[in-house]
Every structure is written in structure tokens, then in C-alpha cells.
Amino acid sequence: MEIPDPGLLDLPETVLQFGTGVLLRGLPDYFIDKANKAGLAAGRILVVKSTSRGDTDAFDRQDGLYTLCVQGMENGQAIEKFLIQATISRVLSAQHEWQAICDAVKQKPIRLIISNTTEVGISLDDTDDPLAMPPRSFPGKLLAVLLARYQSSNAHPDQGFVIIPTELIPDNGQRLQQIVVELAKIRRLPAEFIDWIEKACVFCNSLVDRIVPGKLPESIQQEIEARLGYRDELMIQAEPYRLWAIEASDERVQQVIHWSGIDEGLVLAADITRFRELKLRLLNGTHTFCCGLAYFMGLDTVTQAMQHPDITKFLHQLIFAEMIPAMISPQITREMAESFAQKVLERFANPYLKHHWIDITVEYTAKMRMRNVPLLLAYYQRMNQVPMAMALGFAAYLLFMRGEARGQHYVGAWAGNTYPIRDSQAAYFAECWKKYTIAELVKQVLGNVHLWQTDLTQLPGFTETVIQYVDHLQQGRLEICFHQAIEA
């Protein structure tokens, strides 16, 4: 167990954080804590609790301290570490302590703002008032914070912030800046202030990658607390793998995050596109190609699937023979992709994490479109042949989407059990499965340009292969499917 030096609690607040969620506490806050413990004086974090759910009492009772349980595999070795994190100085409620938050950001030491307010948080509410107590939206709150700093610093050009959102949307920093500036214009805030935002502040695109399930199951937490000898209401779990890639072409980012060399997982780069591509395709995309198939095999979690020989062979065919060849570019070499893929497989096999396949099927269609259709098209462009493993993953997706309405929800059925279909296109698929034969359905769906932004029936052999796979899967002929995909 790693116990922090009490002197770390006296470091000044240098970071304003929007969000108390486990991803922030398990990744950005982890890096800041590690820098402090190494003597780099990264500073402490003032956390803004934006939602009305829950309270801040646990943080108050524990002086912001909490245990981060890092558990899993790293470079073939089992890892289990218990780290007491001492970065959070206090948590203030936006609902009840907004004035205190605005007063706090007038302090010069606070130079870094980070956020994770969910993907929906970075959106424009054009009726929001940044002068409200508090504003409704996250961009409105951020605009109010910037205004407080602007006024207290007399518009000093060196008193801006480095702002790094971690929400999982493309170009998150750029998007957040656009919304904040647009809201400032809608509310007719001074042009000089808007100019200060654009020149004195740096909004960085960033990418976060770490599985942080959060609170442990009660029985496991009790067991760990007994081993450590104390209770912890804020204890969370995380895997060993960690990545926070920050687009940092502006030298001010390096100046503010002067502790960036503390960990190989904290990357400052002029362009983070390759990190996003590797994660989106090889981690998220692999999940999406596999989730329906694994569910039909009766496998509940990703870890269980990694113990099944057919799935592991399928994964190697999918990743190394199909996905990686489609990804290679001037930015991503084969060696880079294969190294990342090996880490992905190690992460999938983590025995400490309970990552359920059924949860990965949420918004299955959107995930297939964003993560995997571009890979499918790239594979055809380079190989001009059917990627058999991708086709099997796609067929399993189509069969999984065979459902019917139950009240306000849709459910599917397999092996005598029902399962939820939590997808915006559930109604469309329910109707298609009612109207068409398998062959007709596959042609109808693959040819739906609205879904895929392209006509997938134009890919030579793909439609016929998917039809065959759907037919085999529906009849429970999984062995035939795997043989065809793996021996391709």
C-alpha cells in the first residue's frame, strides 16, 4: 500500500476539475497524484460537483483521500496495487457553492481546467445564462469561470487557462471552445472578453483510455478493507493500462503540465490522431465485432471469452489478419498497431474486471457504423476480398438485433432467454425481421445508406457471406462459422 506524505496536503490548488466521476479520479487525477509524490509539485485539485445527485460528504469526511485499486495484467505480470490518492483538496457543489467556486478561480495558481461531464455535457444550451448562480450547462459554467478570471486579472493575457476536456467525442477541446465562444456571443458578452478566451486560453483535444469500473462489489471491497485495515467510502478500481493523450502544439500546455514526463501513459503530442485510431478500432471496434457473437456463445464477460479457444482464435484472425492491415498508414505502422493489439488482448483477459458483453451491445448500430464500417471499407480498398471474421461479427450483430417491442422497450431471444436491445435503431430492425427473409433482410440493411453512409452491398462477396453466416448462426452452427472465419 502506498501512503502519501502528509506534506502533500499543503500543496496549493492548481487544477479545477468539473466532475467527481471515477474516470477522472482513476486517470488524470492519478497522474497528478503521481507527480506530487515524485516531488514535481503538480498541485491539488478543486473539484466541482455539477450534478444534484449524491452529496460531497464522503469527500469531506475523508479529506478528499481515496484508495485506487490497480488490478490486472501488465507485460504478462499480475499487478495489484493499492494507492491512496491525495490530489483532491475539496469538492464544492455547483448547486449550493457556486460563488465559492467563482472566487476560487480568481487565484493565480489555478491554471489547468479538466472535465468529464459525459459526452452530452459538451453541447450548446443557447438559453443558458453564464451569470446565473449557477449556469445550467457545463459550457455555461465554464464560461462563468473564465469571466471571473478575466475580470479578476484585469484581462491579463498571461492569466488564461489550459482547458482539457476528457469527454469521449472527437476534437473535444476544439468543440468545447466553439460552444463557449458561441454562447458568449449569444449572451452578448464583451468582445474584449471573447478575444481573451481565444488568445489567453488554450483548449486541448484529448483522449483518455483506462477501464475504471469504479466502486468494487461489496464483498470484494470488504475483503480489501480487511487487508488494508481501514474503511474507504470512495475506494475505486482501475486496470493497470492508462493513457491520457493531450494535443499540445501550444508551448503553454507544456509549461502548465510541466510534470508530463512522470508516466509513459501521459502523452503530450502535436497530433493525437493515431492514439484515437488505435483505441477506436482495436479496442472499441474489437468489442463491437465480438459482443453479439460472444453473447450467443453463452459468455457473460470479456474475461470469460478470453478463456474460450474459439474466441481467442477468432480475435487473432480479426485483429491481426483483417483490422491491422486495414489500419496501416503513415501515422500507424504495423509494429505500432500490433504492440497496441497485444495490450488490448492482455486487457481483455484481466481477471479482476467484470466487463459484460451485453453492456457493450448498447447502441450497437452506432458503434458498428463509427468504429467498424470504416475498417471494413479500408480492408476492401486494400485487399478487395471478404474479411471473413469481420463478416461473422457483422452477421452476429444483425441476428442480435432481431427483437420485438415489449412496452417501451425492445427485447431479443436466444437459447430460451430474453435480452434487452438498447439501440436507437431497434424499431427499424424489429420491422425488418418481421417483413423479410434472412437474405432479403441482409440486403436491405447492408444497402441502407442512411445507417452506414455507404451502400455495403457494393462490397464484392460481403452480402452473400453475411447471409450465410446469419443462417448458420440462427441454426446454432457456431462451429461452422468459426471454422470459416478462422481458416480464411
- Domain with 187 in it: what CATH number? 3.40.50.720
CB atoms within 10 A of CB 350: 22
Digit-coded pLDDT (tens) for 63-86: 999 999 999 999 888 999 999 999
So what's the pLDDT on residue 184? 98
**Rounded mean pLDDT, 438-446:** 98
**C-alpha–C-alpha distance, residues 99 and 63, integer Å:** 21
Same domain? 337 vs 217: no
Digit-coded pLDDT (tens) for 105-163: 998 899 999 999 977 789 999 999 999 999 999 999 999 999 999 999 999 999 999 99
Among the listed residues 166, 209, 186, the one whose alpha carbon sits nearest the alpha carbon of residue 340: 209
Q: Does residue 338 fall inside a structural domain?
A: yes
* Greater pLDDT, 214 or 340: 340
**C-alpha–C-alpha distance, residues 295 and 301, integer Å:** 9
Same domain? 176 vs 308: no
**pLDDT of 53 higher than 70:** no
**C-alpha–C-alpha distance, residues 324 and 389, integer Å:** 13
* 236-238 β-sheet, strand order: 77-85, 66-74, 236-238
Same domain? 222 vs 309: no
Q: What percent of the chain has pLDDT over 90?
A: 92
CATH number of domain containing 356 = 1.10.1040.10
Instruction: Please answer whether residues 70 and 238 qualify as being in contact, where contact means their C-beta atoms are separated by less than 8 angstroms.
Output: yes
CB atoms within 10 A of CB 190: 12
Answer with the one of 207, 239, 269 that is the final residue of a domain. Answer: 269
Quote the number of domains for the chain. Answer: 2
Q: Which of 44-58, 361-375, 448-462 has the lowest mean pLDDT?
A: 44-58
Chain mean pLDDT for the chain: 95
Digit-coded pLDDT (tens) for 333-378: 999 999 999 999 999 999 998 899 999 999 999 999 999 999 999 9
Q: What percent of the chain has pLDDT over 70?
A: 99
Q: Looking at the DSSP assignment, which residues form a beta bridge with residue 112?
A: 15, 162
**pLDDT of 285 higher than 70:** yes
Using only the alpha carbons of the chain, give its radius of gyration.
24
Instruction: Please answer whether residues 288 and 400 qualify as being in contact, where contact means their C-beta atoms are separated by less than 8 angstroms.
Output: no
Q: Does residue 1 fall inside a structural domain?
A: no
**Rounded mean pLDDT, 241-257:** 97
So what's the pLDDT on residue 488? 66
So what's the pLDDT on residue 51? 74
Same domain? 230 vs 290: no
Q: Does residue 329 fall inside a structural domain?
A: yes
Q: Which residues of 204-215 are buried (b: 16+ CB within 10 A; e: fewer)?
A: bbbbbbbbbbee
Answer with the one of 211, 235, 269 that is the final residue of a domain. Answer: 269
Instruction: Please answer whether residues 317 and 389 qualify as being in contact, where contact means their C-beta atoms are separated by less than 8 angstroms.
Output: yes
* Contacts of 272 by beta carbon, 8 Å cutoff, 6+ apart: 205, 206, 207, 245, 246, 247
Reported as a pLDDT band with limits 50, 70 and 90, residue 264 is very high
**pLDDT of 305 higher than 90:** yes
Determine the residue type at 262.
I
**pLDDT of 232 higher than 80:** yes
**pLDDT of 209 higher than 70:** yes
So what's the pLDDT on residue 55? 65
For the entire predicted model, the pTM comes to 0.91
Same domain? 180 vs 104: yes
Instruction: Please answer whether residues 26 and 238 qualify as being in contact, where contact means their C-beta atoms are separated by less than 8 angstroms.
Output: yes
Domain that holds residue 24: 6-269
**Rounded mean pLDDT, 275-295:** 97
Same domain? 76 vs 125: yes
